[in-house]
Amino acid sequence: MTACLTTTRLNLRRLELAFLHSCLTANYPQAQQWLGAELPAPWLAQWQLMALRHKDMVLDPDYRPWGLRAICHGDSGQMIGHIGFHTAPNPDYLQQLGVRNGIELGYEIYPQWRRQGYAGEALDAMLSLAAQQGVATAILSISPDNLASTALARRRGFIHFTEHQDPEDGLEWVYQLPLTALG
């Protein structure tokens, strides 16, 4: 799987173990050199996400190509957000929901870059990548209060099919999209 996905306006760069380790150990010059851009403050505040994805990649080498990606603006190279799959395809927790050959993903666009279509552009690229790899269903879990993300999910054809109580994030609505709809 490609380390960098390119869209019309974005580069989605897979965040490797070394980058996450540099961020977690506050070796910001090394992390910035790897990224080729300054590390944005919202990213630096997400050390729990960095630690979780670093741990996932260490414990499951099959997860590495599916992991977190920096959403970088194609012109400036600035990191404007991140997107990634939560696991490799077909995790047990999705099977327990009745989702076979599925994968869950999440994303964030940093505040100054919102409402410009970047989330949809990055989401489309990741959905296409999953479909090309033979994944049948994509899952998004979204807070009911996140109106922008629920609207984006619906515009892309995701259908609300259940909800769950996340221990950290509270109530989340779970949406699914058959990736065969993309082709």
- Residues 168-181 pLDDT 10s: 888 999 999 999 86
What is the phi/psi pair of residue 20, to 5°? Answer: -60, -40
Q: How far is C-alpha 13 from the geometric centre of its chain's CA atoms?
A: 11
CA atoms within 13 A on the CB side of 110: 18
Cβ neighbours of 4 (radius 10 Å): 11
Residues 166, 141: contact at Cβ < 8 Å?
Answer: yes
pTM of the model: 0.93
Cβ neighbours of 142 (radius 10 Å): 22
Residue ranges of the domains in the chain?
Answer: 4-182
What is the phi/psi pair of residue 70, to 5°? Answer: -80, 135
Distance from C-alpha of 30 to C-alpha of 21, rounded to nearest angstrom: 10
The answer for residues whose C-beta is within 8 angstroms of residue 3's C-beta and 6 or more apart is 13, 14, 16
Residues 80, 72: contact at Cβ < 8 Å?
Answer: yes
Distance from C-alpha of 84 to C-alpha of 105, rounded to nearest angstrom: 5
Pick out the chain residues at pLDDT < 50: none
Residues 114, 154: contact at Cβ < 8 Å?
Answer: no
Place domain 4-182 in its CATH homologous superfamily: Gcn5-related N-acetyltransferase (GNAT) (3.40.630.30)
Beta-strand pair 159-166/79-85: unpaired
CA atoms within 13 A on the CB side of 50: 19
Distance from C-alpha of 3 to C-alpha of 12, rounded to nearest angstrom: 8
